[in-house]
Structure 1
Amino acid sequence: MTIIRTPADEAEARAVQDELRARVVLDEPGPPPGTGLVTGVDVAYDDERDVVVAAAVVLDAATLAVVEETTATGRVTFPYIPGLLAFREIPTVLSALESLENDPGLVVCDGYGRAHPRRFGLAGHLGVLTGLPVLGVAKNPFTFSYDPPGDRRGDSSPLVADDGEEVGRALRTRHGVKPVFVSVGHRISLDNACAHTLALARDFRLPESTRRADALCRRALREATA
């Protein structure tokens, strides 16, 4: 089991980010889309009760059928600080992943990897701690700029930082529908991360992995706080 220590304050959390970011692997392509297993992870909070629930849903990448799903419930042990949200989520997400009977395969986060002010969002953090290939698919571009991609499914445009670095892509998963924002977490290329996202988003804007993990963690939170 991965042992996670909650940072004492914001300064310590940033120091942990700096240390772990140096261990991100960016030169591996990752698994081919449509093969093996893909696991979506997501969290839901009840801030009044300081409860967080994480869900992990394993899909067959070829059929998108659910292979396994699990949840974990924990306490919120770190304050809300933009750019440091991973420290609120990681312990419970890891508990959910570690309770799976199947190897998670590729992990898809509802959040960011390189598309993060410190280039180390939840997808990178989770990838380094688990050693798994991880990508992030977010609903908005955080603080980065982009030109709107074409209207067709599969069209994309770079998500660009102030220094000109491409930190991710705005990717159109449905014709004429707002794009999602894909970024690399660990052990996968950006091209492949986008290809996986399209393969997982066959019928909806968001990847099926994210949709199912979101629904499961919300349901589990309602049950945990009833």
Structure 2
Amino acid sequence: MATLLHIDSAVFPQGSASRDVTAAFVKSWLEEHPEGKVVYRDLAANPLPHLDVAAASAGADDALRAELAAELAAADAVLIGAPMYNFTIPSTLKAWLDQVIIVGHNAALPDGPVAGTQFTVVASRGGSYAPGTPRESFEFVQNYMEKVLTGMLGAEVDFIVPELTLAPMRPEMAELVPLAEASRAKAFEEAAQKAKDLAARIAA
């Protein structure tokens, strides 16, 4: 039975692009794996504590960190909703990463328990930070997530990027609404297809 670990971090429970796209991914995943298991953490509704000196010193001997690390190690695939807040990831998601990444236990190892695990990150953002755009250098979601997940955990990372999500709500972005709609539609298509492909790959 395949297990998908699903992490959401968007503050708003409704109307969130990242939540909508991760939900579409899970739906497609379960269609391919009806007997599969989805372990869900909503970091906005149930935030984790920031890493403190006691937990950092204890490492895998800390009860919460051990629980999170075991949950991650048991996953066949991981799905993360990572909206851009102030050019980077939500603090709740950073807290999860700080707690779950344990050097010498699952990180910074040549062949750790998470090495090779496929992570799919839904990196939604209100504007566009794509290569060639004026704010390309402000993009610290994909850059950070790719580096920390591959560099620390040895994971494989794929991205789905719904852009311009604020366009329908901002009059000054009205001319960008068609691009926003196209980006949203593409994100849903990618979520469905990537979930299907990943489910098939794991089942093979």
TM-score of the superposition, structure 2-length normalised? 0.35
Specify the structure having the higher radius of gyration (Cα): 2
Say which structure is richer in strand. 1
Say which structure is richer in helix. 2
